[in-house]
């Protein structure tokens, strides 16, 4: 798949942008704070219906305007136009001018894997960031997962408000049956995917550490059951009911899960050096790319946001060769020299103050 063109209106620092991309390598270069990452963010949003930098969509609107428009033409077997608008707090999405019920219905038309210096927060950050990673991955490959996750979140809010009103713990909460069903699916999928990610990341990590480190990625579900089946989870929730009422909220569930990164038997979140953590993040992202290809039969686009400066010399040299020619890539950099030699059919864009100009190579 590839992104043929992109249109932005009042998105971040772009008042108006219409751009055609190379089907292979697209280089965005320019000084700091000109709008390079904003372009990658727009592409990411078209793919995932989310930003990788903010949870509040209003931050994406050009200062003081009332909304933004994002649209892109995606070529896969057929050509599809994806359009998102966010105007006066109302979101709307279309595929080929057909209105979608929910913004998330557009996920999967375009697929992306992003590499950014912030990937290190998959190690350093909170469990929320790790859950977000796995949720966004699974949302891109599994429509049922998005549906289960959305319903789960709604039910959880209802359950928590019921907990606050409750005094006795004898009877189940109204929604526990449905909740258990969605929990079961979410946990099962997370378990499967993390296991596969672990295998794929293991070999990549062996390679980049010259056979020195053994990486294992482990799922840490907060609900402990032998098999993530609806009945087991229903029982587990029943046993926890009294505690939940005492604590005043649902303390266990997919909203409290985490992921561990174990290097040679130790948790790299706690003991890994900065460089080690960056290497693990790199291995994880590579595993994500490979897995997404396998799971969907499509090759996702790669967004690489200013990645070289945070890598050591060896990883720097290896980074672009490891992705060249595999898919359409979008690379941002402040230093043209770092990126002009990437192999493939290239377009070079100079980004300056919310405008981009194609330059000759
Ligand atoms: N909602 C917004 N409306 C208008 N401008 C915005 C908005 N959000 C961010 N900006 C501007 O966008 C610019 C930052 O863009 P971006 O993050 O894409 O920079 P960059 O080129 O990637 O820079 P760097 O090299 O530092 O990473 C800043 O000047 C910021 O003020
Ligand atoms: Mg940037």
Query: Highest-confidence range of 44-48, 307-311, 318-322, by mean pLDDT?
Result: 44-48
CATH of domain 122-297: 1.20.1050.90
Q: Measured in angstroms, how far is the CA atom of residue 30 from the centroid of ligand 2?
A: 10
Would you say the CB of residue 306 lies under 6 angstroms from ligand 1? yes
Distances in Å between the Cα of 231 and the Cα atoms of 22, 60, 184, 224, 286 are: 51, 43, 9, 13, 36
Neighbours of 246 (CB within 10 A): 10
Q: Range with the lowest mean pLDDT among 19-23, 85-89, 166-170, 319-323?
A: 166-170
The structural domains of the chain, with segments of one domain joined by +, span: 1-111+298-361, 122-297
The torsion angles phi and psi of 318, rounded to 5 degrees, stand at -85, -20
pLDDT one-digit tens code per residue, 112-167: 999 999 999 999 999 999 999 999 999 999 999 999 999 999 999 999 999 988 87
Note residues around ion ligand 2 (Cβ under 5 angstroms).
36-37
Q: Measured in angstroms, how far is the CA atom of residue 314 from the centroid of ligand 1?
A: 30
**Is beta strand 112-115 parallel, antiparallel or unpaired with respect to 14-20?**
unpaired
* Dist CA 262 CA 193 (whole Å): 17
Q: Measured in angstroms, how far is the CA atom of residue 38 from the centroid of ligand 1?
A: 6
The torsion angles phi and psi of 323, rounded to 5 degrees, stand at -115, -15
pLDDT for res 173: 82
pLDDT for res 167: 79
Q: Measured in angstroms, how far is the CA atom of residue 37 from the centroid of ligand 1?
A: 7
Would you say the CB of residue 38 lies under 6 angstroms from ligand 1? yes
Q: What is the mean pLDDT of residues 236-262?
A: 95
Share of the chain above pLDDT 70, in %: 100
pLDDT one-digit tens code per residue, 27-63: 999 999 999 999 999 999 999 999 999 999 999 999 9
CATH of domain 1-111+298-361: 3.40.50.300
């Amino acid at each position: 798949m590839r992104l043929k063109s992109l249109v932005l209106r009042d998105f971040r620092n772009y008042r108006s942008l219409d751009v055609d991309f190379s089907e292979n390598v697209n280089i965005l270069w320019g000084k700091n704070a000109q709008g390079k990452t904003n372009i990658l963010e727009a592409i990411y949003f078209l793919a995932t219906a989310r930003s990788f930098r903010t949870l509040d969509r209003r931050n994406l609107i050009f200062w003081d305007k009332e909304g933004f428009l994002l649209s892109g033409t995606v070529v896969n077997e057929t050509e599809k136009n994806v359009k998102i608008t966010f105007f006066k707090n109302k979101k709307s999405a279309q595929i080929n001018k057909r209105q979608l019920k929910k913004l998330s219905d557009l996920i999967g038309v375009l697929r992306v894997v992003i590499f950014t210096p912030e990937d290190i927060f998959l190690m350093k950050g909170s469990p929320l960031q790790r859950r977000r990673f796995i949720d966004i991955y699974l949302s891109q490959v599994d429509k049922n997962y998005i549906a289960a996750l959305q319903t789960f979140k709604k039910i959880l809010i209802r359950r928590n408000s019921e907990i606050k009103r409750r005094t006795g713990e004898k009877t189940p909460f109204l929604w526990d049956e449905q909740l258990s069903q969605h929990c079961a699916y979410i946990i099962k999928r997370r378990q499967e995917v993390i296991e596969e990610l672990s295998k794929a990341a293991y070999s990549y990590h062996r390679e980049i550490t010259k056979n020195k480190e053994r990486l294992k990625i482990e799922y840490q579900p907060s609900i402990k059951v032998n098999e993530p089946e609806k009945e087991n989870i229903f029982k587990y929730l029943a046993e926890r009911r009294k505690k939940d009422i005492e604590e005043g909220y649902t303390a266990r569930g997919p909203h409290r899960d985490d992921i561990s990164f174990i290097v040679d038997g130790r948790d790299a979140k706690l003991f890994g050096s900065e460089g080690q953590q960056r290497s693990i993040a790199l291995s994880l992202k590579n595993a994500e790319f490979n897995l997404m290809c396998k799971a969907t039969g499509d090759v996702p686009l790669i967004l690489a946001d200013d990645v070289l400066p945070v890598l050591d010399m060896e990883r720097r040299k290896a980074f672009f060769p490891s992705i060249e020619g595999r898919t359409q890539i979008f690379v941002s950099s402040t230093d043209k020299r770092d990126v002009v030699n990437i192999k493939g059919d290239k377009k070079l864009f100079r980004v300056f103050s919310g405008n981009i100009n194609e330059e000759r190579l």
